[in-house]
Amino acid sequence: MRNIFLFVFLFLNSVVLADNISDHEIEQISVGDSLLDYFSITTIGKNIDKSTNANRRDKTFYLVDIVNEDFKEYDGLQFGLKENDQNFTIYYIAGVDFYSDISKCYEKMDSIVESISDLLKFTEKKDYGIYPDPSDPSGESLFRSVYFDFQKDQGTGMDHISVGCTDWSNTFEDLYNWKDNLRVTITTAEFDYWVNYLS
């Protein structure tokens, strides 16, 4: 496992913090970029998360999950793309690392949050603490999150950066072969609206 210092150093070099959400980067990729600038149509097509829209009434967006050993900072990346968009414009990007020990995830999360807080002094920070993950109906899986909001949500979503750790229950880990994970996201207001209001 990479140590905390190295992770924070890489994070600060892979997420460019500025005033506009599109100026931020994960693995040198920003929202607003075309995913075709980084991956082929074949790679994108093979990595579509077909479960994303299974239970959603609105199919505006879909997710692409890519795990690549060439990534420098993360085990995998996730992208939010719009259906029928021939430009494959990125509306959401997440860097994901996996853990067998949730305490290590929390340690790295704390370091990242502290670093972002120092750099985004005038951005609203919301610490939601630890609460049941909505993906698990049993309530046994837990999610811890901190958000940095770039504007007020007027019912139309908001641009934000978030840092979170998911602690899946043993049942979920066995059932889906999921692992506890750290997720650093850059989210546009349009994608945020879809997630929170059009599910």
10 Å CB burial of residue 184 (0-12, 13-18, 19+) is buried
The band of 15, judged by pLDDT with boundaries at 50, 70 and 90, is: very low
Lowest mean pLDDT segment, chosen from 61-65, 72-76, 152-156, 172-176: 152-156
pLDDT per position as a tens digit, 138-161: 999 999 999 999 887 777 889 999
Give the pLDDT of residue 2: 38
Entry pTM: 0.85
10 Å CB burial of residue 43 (0-12, 13-18, 19+) is middle
pLDDT per position as a tens digit, 79-133: 999 999 999 999 999 999 999 999 999 999 999 999 888 888 888 899 999 999 9
- Give percent of the chain with pLDDT exceeding 90: 64
